[in-house]
Structure 1
Amino acid sequence: MSSFSQINTNIQSQRAFQNLSDTSEELANRRERLTTGLRINSASDDAAGFEIAKGLETKTGSQQQALRNIGDAKSALSVAEGALDSQLNILQSAREKATQAANGSLSQDERDAIAGELQELVGEVNDIADSTTFNGDQLIKGGTSGDSSNSVGLTFQTGSESDQTFDVNINNSTGTDLGVETDLDASKAASTASTGGQSVDSGDFADTQVKTPLEGSVTASTTGSGNLAGDLEGGSFEVEVAEKSGTSSKVEFRVDGNTFTATNTTSGSSFTAQTGSVQLSTTGGSNTIAFNPTTDVAFGPADVGTDGKT
């Protein structure tokens, strides 16, 4: 009996066992700190420090994601910049072609060939606008989300806070948006438009903008109408209308940024001036018609030659 009582009351052995347990737990904590490299690995190590560390860890994660967002933004803008640079090179080539077409030594066939090249260049501009995308979104075409209704608006999250953003607006950059494409509105016509009816025979391409020559004609039924609008800014031009049919065919053009409309009606043709001035002359003759911004001029079939030229 005395031996069992002696073991159960061995206080020194119990203290030694407790010290071994504490030492083992401390060694485990030290081993974890050495493994993770962190002083605080759980709330039991330091409750206040653990809370601060978790907050910093969350903010660091947000900052890292913001850096990735900035990388994506740079990639998207680089795609748009490359596309716009390519379009600029094409427009410079188009300007050179337009300057070449202004040379009086060229024949009409040569001018027609240049007009075809200009149309191909405009097509390249539109192809670039169509293919410029990032993650499936158009960057320089069809945008309405920007500051204006004709631009693409992009918002990049560049920080961990909700107000740390960067806004970018990219204007649409198709041939129509750039003002280098003849606009044929076929949706208003009852029948399809054919080509070859209109051409710019001569002119002074002194304008700083590159404009494509008018190409095509509009044939409409008596119930429909076709609208062929072209931009002719600066200089003087001779416009030939080879065929006109229907009762409401219309040709629009601009002089110094001002719009003029020629309408073929049953009683003849008329030009209406909104602002600016324009002078019309008959082919092969000395007769001219001039009017100012406040005057509308109308002329009947007798004033139009049999070849359809005005």
Structure 2
Amino acid sequence: MKVNTPNANMLNNVLQQQQKLSQQLATGKRINSAADDAAGLQIANRLSSNINAQQQGQRNLADGVAFARVYDQALQGVNDNILELERLTIAAGNGIYSEADRKALQTEANGYLANIQQGLTAEFAGKALFTDSSLTFNAGESNLSLQTQDLGTVLANQNIFNIDLTDANAVADNLTAVRAAAEQVNAFQAQTGASINTFQSASRAVAGQEVATAEARSRIADLDFAKASSERAANNILSQSSINVAMQARVSSEQALSLLS
């Protein structure tokens, strides 16, 4: 004769719930498999993909800002040498200077021109700075571009590399070339500064999107520890009670079978 324990199914359900709560508390996740919440898992995975894209987008923009800053510093280096050339060009217009004095000015000017030529070979991460190109940086959901210029060609077209301070009659032409070159470099710097501001603004926006997306994913996938701990405590009490009742029912069943036999 078989005697069924009335609360066996209840005890089994409680133990299964305890196992699920233990897994959730161990991982910190409300959803550990599709069985926990199929729709929620799909949404959480999509949000995780968005977060990954936003994080990589921020890294891309940070690289763009770094490149732009190095480019700006290189432009400033060229500009500093041009300013010295302007000073020497004006000095060459001094009527009391002798031919030897102007040759000395030309020698010093040649040094600044060599500095400019050296600066034009600058690179960042193996990529030449001064080329006509548009560098694109993906921000996750959009692209931002940084424009660089072939400054060597620009300066050559301004005839800055051919200034002759030994010729007292060429002061005006030399000064025009030097100042035109300085204005061009200043324009490139202004453009670069605007690009840096754009990149930084976009990076802050993407960072804000990442935080909002992570919060949305957390509300779906992460565990409410306070609630889970409370449920586990309640289930502990319920499971202990169920075990006690089952043991009592088993004793009663054995007594009944003993009497029947």
Aligned-pair distance for 1:61?
Answer: 0.6
Alignment equivalent of 1:139, drawn from 129, 154, 174: 129
> SS at 2:176's partner residue?
coil
Q: Which amino acid aligns with 1:64?
A: Q
Deviation readout 1:133-169 (Å, 9 max, x if unpaired): 12100011xx2xxxxxxx23211111x23xx101121
Per the alignment, residue 88 of structure 1 pairs with: 79
**Does the Cα contact within 8 Å between 2:106 and 2:166 map onto a contact in 1?**
no
Aligned-pair distance for 1:77?
Answer: 0.4
**Does the Cα contact within 8 Å between 2:134 and 2:147 map onto a contact in 1?**
yes
Deviation readout 1:15-54 (Å, 9 max, x if unpaired): 52x4444323212221222233322221101111111111
Alignment equivalent of 1:167, drawn from 133, 137, 145: 145
Q: Which amino acid aligns with 1:28?
A: Q
Deviation readout 1:74-116 (Å, 9 max, x if unpaired): 1100100111111111110110001101112111111111111
| Separation (CA, whole Å) in 2 of partners of 1:178 and 1:51 | 61
**Does the Cα contact within 8 Å between 1:152 and 1:169 map onto a contact in 2?**
yes
Alignment equivalent of 1:119, drawn from 93, 97, 110: 110
Per the alignment, residue 55 of structure 1 pairs with: 46
| Separation (CA, whole Å) in 2 of partners of 1:60 and 1:178 | 48
Per the alignment, residue 223 of structure 1 pairs with: none
Per the alignment, residue 205 of structure 1 pairs with: 171
| Separation (CA, whole Å) in 1 of partners of 2:146 and 2:65 | 11
> SS at 1:38's partner residue?
coil
| Separation (CA, whole Å) in 2 of partners of 1:36 and 1:126 | 59
User: Residues 105, 28 of structure 1: CA spacing in aligned structure 2 closer, same or farther, 3 A cutoff?
Assistant: same
Q: State the Cα RMSD in Å.
A: 2.3
User: Residues 66, 108 of structure 1: CA spacing in aligned structure 2 closer, same or farther, 3 A cutoff?
Assistant: same
**Does the Cα contact within 8 Å between 2:99 and 2:166 map onto a contact in 1?**
no
| Separation (CA, whole Å) in 2 of partners of 1:52 and 1:157 | 24
Q: Which amino acid aligns with 2:14?
A: T
Per the alignment, residue 176 of structure 1 pairs with: 156
- Asked whether 1:105 is paired with 2:96, we answer yes
Per the alignment, residue 10 of structure 1 pairs with: 3
> SS at 1:181's partner residue?
helix
**Gaps in structure 1 of 5+ consecutive residues:** 1-5, 144-150, 184-197, 212-310
Per the alignment, residue 268 of structure 1 pairs with: none
Q: Which has the higher helix share?
A: 2
What is the TM-score with the length of structure 1 in the denominator? 0.52
| Separation (CA, whole Å) in 2 of partners of 1:78 and 1:111 | 37
**Does the Cα contact within 8 Å between 2:102 and 2:165 map onto a contact in 1?**
no
How many residue pairs are counted as aligned between the two chains?
A: 175
User: Residues 199, 205 of structure 1: CA spacing in aligned structure 2 closer, same or farther, 3 A cutoff?
Assistant: closer
**Does the Cα contact within 8 Å between 1:90 and 1:121 map onto a contact in 2?**
yes
Q: Percent identity?
A: 26
Aligned-pair distance for 1:200?
Answer: 4.3
| Separation (CA, whole Å) in 2 of partners of 1:134 and 1:178 | 26
**Gaps in structure 2 of 5+ consecutive residues:** 180-261
| Separation (CA, whole Å) in 1 of partners of 2:23 and 2:97 | 87
> SS at 2:48's partner residue?
helix
Q: Identify which of structures 1 and 2 has the higher relative contact order when contacts are C-alpha pairs closer than 8 Å and 6+ apart.
A: 2
